[in-house]
Amino acid sequence: MQAFQYKKANNVDSAIGAGSTAGMKFVAGGTTLVDLMKLNVERPTTVVDINSLPLTKIERTSDGGLKIGAIVRNSDLAHDAMVQKEYPVLSQALLSGASPQLRNMATTGGNLLQRTRCYYFRDTAYPCNKRKPGSGCSAIDGFNRIHAILGTSEHCIATNPSDMAVAMMALEATVQLRGPKAERTVALKDFYLVPGSTPNLETVIAPGELITSVTLPRVADGTRSYYLKRRDRASYEFALASAAVVAQMQGRRVQRVRIALGGVGTKPWRSTEAENVLQGRDASEQNFNNAAEAALQGAKVTHDNAFKVVLAKRTLVRALKVVTEAS
């Protein structure tokens, strides 16, 4: 691990001020950053501890939504009564990730920013465009069973690892950012970047900006939601494919639906194509299959991960069945 300077911020202003330093990283739970520092993947010259910032509340917004502070721990968010009642898809996603010990440390902001589990990204002996732009992508011709099939490019096929972000994508969350000059709000669907020719750029966060909160819109009465995750083992494992579905029903008709996929995209993957197939139509297996086909129509597989196309389709169909059959 490279030597670094440690600073502790006691308020948001001091954190932002310290955050303007080149080579700086914020740390809260540290469940991703510290691991990557040990591997010399992340090499910050300054680490700013933000655990003392007053960003730990889950509270109502004026319009009945939910505002989640950036330092709310994943365990606290998953077990919050309002989240479990109104946003069960989010609680389910959080509880399907990592382990209880990690969920007790990991934060909302950190979860949104966690980096890929690509073997080649995490091993500095291999070329990686995400780690060192222009060096090449070892995964494309390497062992790529866990890698992405949506949103890939010739420069990167790394998968986004977050479960929480998939649920938040289906819930149409917004992210509040604060930087040295201003505050801004970004829709989560616009927060993540596909790799293209610059896989080292993963989000729209500018240097020195800090996530302060995430806001979930109010859910309409009768909204149903569900998160389904497929993985190699039952716990402490990342998704091979997952689906978050948020739906409003009118009898057996899908009045409104939002769909996001995990484990298959270079970012948490919102599928408007699948939504358009289902919206206003009957909740039938044929329509579910058609939606799954639409969601995966742009899939681009490599030699080890072609199975993800079928797995993702079946995962989405199953999640849709569960949501639409709910009482």
Sheet architecture: strand order including 46-49: 5-8, 46-49, 24-27
CATH of the domain at 34: 3.30.43
Evaluate if residue 326 carries a pLDDT over 70: no
Q: Has residue 44 been placed in a domain?
A: yes
Q: Has residue 16 been placed in a domain?
A: yes
Q: Has residue 179 been placed in a domain?
A: no
- Structurally, the chain folds into a number of domains equal to 2
pLDDT band at residue 19 under the 50/70/90 scheme: confident
* Cα–Cα distance, 233 to 277 (Å, whole number): 32
From residue 309, how far is each of 18, 240, 264 by CA, in Å? 44, 10, 8
Using CB atoms within 10 Å of the CB of residue 279, give its burial: 0 to 12 exposed, 13 to 18 middle, 19+ buried: middle
Other CB atoms within a 10 A radius of the CB of residue 236 amount to 12
**Could you list the residue range(s) of the whole structural domain that residue 26 is in?**
5-49
Q: Has residue 314 been placed in a domain?
A: yes
* Cα–Cα distance, 101 to 19 (Å, whole number): 28
SS3 category, 106: coil
Nearest partner of 263 among 238, 245, 282, judged by Cα: 238
pLDDT band at residue 153 under the 50/70/90 scheme: very high
For 325, residues 6+ apart whose C-beta sits below 8 A from its C-beta are 283
- Tokens 């992340």 correspond to what residue? 42
Asked whether 145 and 59 are in contact (CB, 8 A), the reply is no
pLDDT in tens, 60-106: 999 999 999 999 999 999 999 999 999 999 999 999 999 999 999 99
Nearest partner of 119 among 145, 96, 100, judged by Cα: 145
Q: Has residue 290 been placed in a domain?
A: yes
Q: Has residue 235 been placed in a domain?
A: yes
Q: Has residue 255 been placed in a domain?
A: yes
Evaluate if residue 21 carries a pLDDT over 90: no
Q: Has residue 305 been placed in a domain?
A: yes
Phi, psi of 8 (to 5 degrees): -115, 125
CATH of the domain at 257: 3.30.390.50
* Cα–Cα distance, 199 to 139 (Å, whole number): 13
Looking at every residue in the chain, the average pLDDT score rounds to 97
pLDDT in tens, 174-233: 999 999 989 999 999 999 999 999 999 999 999 899 999 999 999 999 999 999 999 999
SS3 category, 178: strand
Evaluate if residue 297 carries a pLDDT over 90: yes
Averaged pLDDT, 124-144: 98
Evaluate if residue 327 carries a pLDDT over 70: no
Q: What pLDDT, on the 0 to 100 scale, is given for residue 20?
A: 74
Which helix (H) or strand (E) covers residue 326, if one does? none
